[in-house]
Structure 1
Amino acid sequence: MSKKDKWPIYVPKPTFERLKKYYAYLMQIDEDYISSDELAKKFNIKPEQVRKDFTYLDITGKPKKGYHIPLLVEELGKLFGTRVLENLIIVGAGNLGSALAKYMGFEKMGVKVVAIFDNDPKKIGSFVGELSVLPLSFLERVIKRFKVRIGIICVPEESAQEVANLLIKKGIKAIWNFSPVPLKVPETIIVENQDITSGILTIKHILAKK
């Protein structure tokens, strides 16, 4: 029985994180094959670890050639669900939200921004790329029409929890949180926190130690 017959499979978090890095790197290179040695060198790990990570995929390497990159990308795409397009929405049409709305790389990852929202009357009706900024009162109809399950929060910390509650109430199942505050959500809701402040402070701390 192949791994395809047992899909989806459980992947340990450390392996999953490495597979995400491999995928991002492979999407950028224009080659037919890549070896475990090459990937190991790129990510400063052992070739054995790369080969072990790939045991979670339905793929094998060829002697003296390595792994066929298009097939490897396809298998990783299945794991990450990139072959199924997910619509997402953004709440917060500030600098960060606007930048994310205009990011051209989302569709390669199987997601598409279909709407951006804000509660600032001065922003509502303006355009971010090809999207018109909508009022929050339009949330429910957009979520239902486009079958949206993912919401991105790009609002100040004092508004983040309120926005999260509203998104969940309107049917959102997963939140990508860019506000610097932890969200309180039901266990059934997926939350991925992208704390920019924490990231910068970590980098500065590491630099200070060197």
Structure 2
Amino acid sequence: MEKKEIRSFIIDKLEIRKSDDNNSMTVAGYVTKFNTRSKLIWGEFYEKVAKGAFARSLEENIIKALWNHRSDFVLGSTKNGTLRLKEDDVGLYFELDLPNSTWGKDAYESIKRGDVDGVSFGFYVRKDKWEYIKEEDVYERTLLDVDLFEISPTPFPAYPESEVAKRSLEEFKKEIKNEKDLDLRKRKLSLELELI
């Protein structure tokens, strides 16, 4: 039987957005960065996540956002789009629209104040690789393919290099506009190349 595992990551910056018009509260950042070492796990080994380790889960799974791994405090879900996840060149990025509930508001406030600055994830291992690092007399595990089922804001993360950025809604809209402009330029260039 597969063993359920949970990993927590420290967050340098947590992106917080609040819209006054509809009272929505959104937090965002990286669940993990690829190829970055965790803290020493159980005093026995280091761990890192390879790029692509979440790809299958993102296609196949309904993934929940929980408050500190508590299934009685559901903050969002990929099923209804309140949790959005994507792998990029840096790591596994998330955006989470918190619920307009007591625990959603409490989570938003704790994250905003910086009391909770970590993100964790729950998974089953499909494929991994182990390596002995002789110079350090320790093992290093690389997660190659995991069955991701939840992410959680948490106060006690295991991966110190994870990052979440704090920015305003205006900065976020500007970034999205820049991404759309870049995408438009790429499509235009592609069409121009086809005509040549």
TM-score, with length taken from structure 2: 0.24
Structure 1 or 2: larger helix share?
Answer: 1
Structure 1 or 2: larger strand share?
Answer: 2
TM-score, with length taken from structure 1: 0.23
Q: Which has the higher contact order (CA 8 A, sep 6+)?
A: 2
